[in-house]
Amino acid sequence: MLAINVLRGGRPRALFEVYFIKTIRYVFLADVVFLFSIQQAGGFLLINDVLLAGLILLIYFTGKIQSKQQRQSLFSVRGSANIPGMGDILNKIRPPFDIRFEIMVVVLALGVYGSFYFVPHLASNAISNWFLESILNIEDTPVFGFVFKVVGFFFMVSVLMKITSAILAVITGRALGNKEFPEEKPRDNDDDHFDDYTEIK
């Protein structure tokens, strides 16, 4: 990314460039996750480990899309404020986002991940093996390894919470934590009732 930024020379990133780089990153991430699932199984290709790792990968990608949607909504709300020039400033610093490209990139990365199960030898390459070894070396480092494991623990907790929320949402038919508010009863038409917007003369 540093080399690409240097070659760009301060030029703002185009939408195609953003999602092309993201596609490469997500594909390599799926590759490393696949190799890690095999490494955890002792070198064997087990369907249960592959499916579990793929589910976690899907939840991670979905969480990234949701966080970017929330960020875009925040920019939109601030951009609608009646502050002169604020909209132009936010448009310049707002990160590129297109939900269609986001879904396409995720589907492509998950498709590549699933194809590795049928052709596992393609997952083993110099770049992916280097990423895997680097991650494992960080895990074995005394201080950074402990921090790495703590972050991984909280990530797994968040994954389990998202899975639980999704299951409860399917069972109850609505998202977890959303409460249905009762409909407001119509007020009686009596002349003695005033609200905050009634002008009393």
User: What is the C-alpha to C-alpha distance for residues 193 and 186, in angstroms, rounded to an integer?
Assistant: 13
Report yes or no on 182 lying in a domain: no
Q: What residue type is assigned to position 182 of the chain?
A: P
User: What is the C-alpha to C-alpha distance for residues 53 and 123, in angstroms, rounded to an integer?
Assistant: 15
Neighbours of 35 (CB within 10 A): 22
Report yes or no on 10 lying in a domain: no
Q: What residue type is assigned to position 33 of the chain?
A: V
Q: Are 50 and 40 in contact (CB under 8 A)?
A: no
Instruction: With CA atoms as reference, report the closest residue to 31 among 89, 132, 113.
Output: 113
Report yes or no on 179 lying in a domain: no
Instruction: With CA atoms as reference, report the closest residue to 29 among 163, 125, 114, 132.
Output: 132
Share of the chain above pLDDT 70, in %: 68
pLDDT of the residue at 193:
47
Report yes or no on 99 lying in a domain: yes
Question: Does residue 87 register a pLDDT over 60?
Answer: no
Report yes or no on 157 lying in a domain: no
Radius of gyration over every alpha carbon of the chain, rounded to an integer in angstroms: 24
Report yes or no on 103 lying in a domain: yes
Report yes or no on 44 lying in a domain: yes
User: What is the C-alpha to C-alpha distance for residues 70 and 113, in angstroms, rounded to an integer?
Assistant: 27
Q: For the residues 76-91, what does the mean pLDDT come to?
A: 53
Phi, then psi, of 190 in degrees rounded to 5: -120, 145
What range defines the domain where residue 34 resides? Answer: 15-123
Report yes or no on 73 lying in a domain: yes
pTM for the whole structure = 0.68
User: What is the C-alpha to C-alpha distance for residues 15 and 128, in angstroms, rounded to an integer?
Assistant: 26
User: What is the C-alpha to C-alpha distance for residues 8 and 94, in angstroms, rounded to an integer?
Assistant: 18
Count how many domains the chain has.
Answer: 1
pLDDT band at 108 (very low <50, low <70, confident <90, very high): very high
Would you give the distance in Å from CA 52 to the centre of its chain?
18
